[in-house]
A and B are shown apart, each in its own frame.
Chain A
Amino acid sequence: MDQPIDINRKEVRMPTNKTGLARVLRSDAKGLLIGAALLVALFTVASILVDGFASANNIRSILLLAAFLGLASLGQTMVATIGGLDLSIPFVIGASNILLAYLFGTSVPAPLALLIIAVMGAAIGFLNGVLSYKIQGQALILTLGVGFAVVGGAQIFTTLGSQYSGTVFSQVPAWFSNIASISGTTFGLQFPPVIAIWMLVAFTLIYWINRTKSGRAIYAIGGNRTAAARLRISEFRTWVSTYTISGLTAAITGCLLLGFSGGGFVGVGDPYLFTTVAAVVVGGTSLLGGSGGYGATIIGVLVLQVLTSFLVGMGLNYAAQQTVFGLLILPMVALYARSPHIRYQI
């Protein structure tokens, strides 16, 4: 600013004194890059230390479990991008899991049953969005409350019809089992369709987020609500629709998990309570909103899943895995989600 600016110059560019790498490290892609590096490093180390880690079977299994976590984390990523959190995800997963199993046991045709569950999930998400809109700071608690109510209600519903509570058994159609079980095949290829479904969903979502107006609206809201309002981007609509997506994907995850296990169990969602948040955070989406994305979450999901597999392979139990996850979150967050010092906020 020392030199007066020549206003007649048509194009004034800053000298590009930064290398490409330095630029990437400043940008949002930083998290993606670090996550990918971590993923490669983890995989390499695990392949060396654990026999058979790089086997097709193990990779298939990692991808299968990653697909579930990935789908469960989809909504969480969306919601986190606008600065919210959805803790109802594990409960919606559990509820839809047992309700679908219940419906499979009735005369409802399977596709209709799936549709009913999907609509229910979206409706719960919608409810979450509407109820938490005015109390966004408390969205965490509110979604938790809704989640408890949903899972309680679903269990009461399924219990009243049968003697079994919380677990519902019925014959899962073979085609549906094939979608999500490890031995499933996709057009004759040796991997379960759910992996392909996940990839397809991920691709569509990323395209939608990046290339459409409604996708960009999520980032606009996450970045600056007032400015978004000035551009006629409705905060309410965006907030509610992201929660609706979250409810929908949670319900779909719950359904697919039924295909995976073959029997309804309300507890299937439990591992996803904080793991979805961890996947989002490890991937590089800041919970403050506006940054990150599903691409990052995919990396986060894969990192967590490879890590889990690695830790299991190393003989570490669930407890130690949790500790390692926790220890992983801190440096990842410290890398890209630090808030500025208070003196820069004045």
Chain B
Amino acid sequence: MLSNRLSHLWVPLGLVLILGIMAAVRAPQTFTYVGLAGALLVAAPLILAAVAITPIAIAGRGGVDLSIGPLIGFVNVTIVVWLSENGITHPILVFAYAILAACAWQMLLAAFIIFVRISPIIASLAGFMILQGVNLVILSRPGGVAPEWLGNWGWGTELLSPVLYILLAAFAIWFLFQRTAMFQHIRLMGADERTAYTSGVDIIKARFAAHLMAGVFAGLAALCLTGLIGSGDPTQGNTLTLQAITALVLGGTSLAGGKGGITGSVLGAVAMYLVFVVLSSFNFGAISGFMTQLLYGLMLVFALLVALVTTAPRTRAA
């Protein structure tokens, strides 16, 4: 029965394996020490963004956080404009700021969803638009300089880098979180909110907790993004929204709630990274950007349909 709980991982795992093999053939450098270090560096923001929206998706109500990208962008530009430019560059302060800022936003979003009772997708759509604008107001164009220690993450030549430690820390946090009763509450709430409510789960706290976790990971994602680009960029975060959702869906986490975990999201994000590696290894010339779009779209549709086929019998049983 363990296989049942992990069945949603077959699709992303298969994708990662196939793409991994293709990457190994087409771009073998990917799997060298430096190649992996670079891969880790580049993929980390997306991986963490995908991880961040996972607890919110598990918490149900079709909860997909569209604001995640601009949120990461917000933390990125504020680190550069508010902290770095004012000489606040101590790692502890920057880390604390990134995580607290992201958590604060998520709390605000959760409060809207819980108390105003509007659907998460609309709340986060409004959030997307608001933050997208706010980011451009804070920093109208890419620029600024990240704290030096953070900018140095961008070298990406050492596997044992802060980015790796952040990812490991994220996994550790998730692992510990998964062992708490709260995680169980969130799962229950996502699978059937009424059951959770009537069996005494504090669904308000559970939803806040899911968003809080999202905030922690979003903060870490923003740090990794800032490390990667070494500067502030008001628009780079925005693209992460759709990518993170894609990774989430590829990872088999259902937007219907109650199911899934970060393993799937991580695999989904890795699969997406590998797609770009494989595609970049071909010389499509002028159409390479379009090939990416095409395949990216087909992959999404395919993953959804495969998930549909593999879970269909269970749905019928219900």
Contact = CB atoms under 8 A, between A and B. Distances in A.
A93 B195 CA distance: 43
A327 B125 CA distance: 10
A323 B137 contact: yes
A334 B118 contact: yes
A24 B305 CA distance: 44
A75 B193 CA distance: 32
Contacts of B2: none
Contacts of A324: 133
Interface size class of A (residues with CB under 8 A): 35 or more
B133 A330 contact: no
B304 A159 contact: no
Given A140-B64, A152-B291, A326 B297 contact: no
A52 interface: no
A281 interface: yes
A135 B136 CA distance: 36
A334 B116 contact: yes
Contacts of A163: 286
A135 B304 contact: yes
B39 to A, nearest CB: 23
A343 B304 CA distance: 33
Given A274-B128, A322-B129, A330 B112 contact: yes
Interface stretch (B159-167, B171-179, B242-250): B242-250
Contact of A148 (B121, B126, B293): B293
Nearest to B294: A152
A163 B285 CA distance: 11
A341 B193 CA distance: 11
Contact of B287 (A159, A323, A329): A159
A334 B118 CA distance: 6
A299 B130 CA distance: 22
A151 B203 CA distance: 41
A324 B134 CA distance: 10
Contacts of B129: 274, 278, 322-323, 325-326, 329
A152 B304 contact: no
Given A141-B246, A327-B130, A342-B197, A148 B136 contact: no
Interface in A123-174: 131, 134-135, 137-138, 140-142, 144-153, 155-156, 159-160, 163, 165-166
Contacts of A145: 246, 296-301, 304
A227 interface: no
Given A151-B293, A274-B129, A327-B130, A333 B122 contact: yes
Interface stretch (A9-17, A197-205, A246-254, A313-321): A313-321
A212 interface: no
Given A148-B297, A322-B132, A338-B118, A137 B194 contact: no
A333 B122 CA distance: 8
Contacts of B310: none
Contact of B130 (A131, A326, A334): A326
B133 to A, nearest CB: 3
A339 interface: yes
Interface string B231-253: 00010000000100110010000
Nearest to A320: B133
Interface in A278-310: 278, 281, 287-288
Nearest to B193: A342
- B129, B234, B294, B304 pick with most chain A CB within 10 angstroms: B129
- A134, A277, A323 pick with most chain B CB within 10 angstroms: A323
A339 B59 CA distance: 16
- A140, A330, A341 pick with most chain B CB within 10 angstroms: A330
A345 interface: yes
A338 B297 CA distance: 33
B314 interface: no
A337 interface: yes
A166 B291 CA distance: 12
Contact of A146 (B121, B132, B256, B301): B301
A142 B301 contact: yes
A7 interface: no
A342 B122 contact: no
B293 A319 contact: no
A5 interface: no
A1 interface: no
Interface in B10-37: none
Nearest to A345: B194
Nearest to B203: A342
B62 interface: yes
A231 interface: no
B35 to A, nearest CB: 27
A337 to B, nearest CB: 6
B76 to A, nearest CB: 15
Contact of A150 (B255, B297, B305): B297
B117 A338 contact: yes
A346 interface: yes
Contacts of A274: 125, 128-129
Interface of B: 62, 64, 112, 116-119, 121-123, 125-137, 140, 193-194, 197-198, 203, 234, 242, 245-246, 249, 254-256, 286-287, 289-301, 304-305, 307-308, 312
Given A134-B312, A278-B129, A339-B118, 6 more contacts: A147-B297, A148-B294, A149-B301, A152-B291, A320-B133, A334-B116
Closest 3 A-B residue pairs measured CB to CB? A148-B297, A152-B294, A145-B300
10 contacts: A141-B304, A145-B301, A148-B293, A155-B290, A287-B121, A326-B130, A326-B132, A333-B122, A342-B194, A342-B197
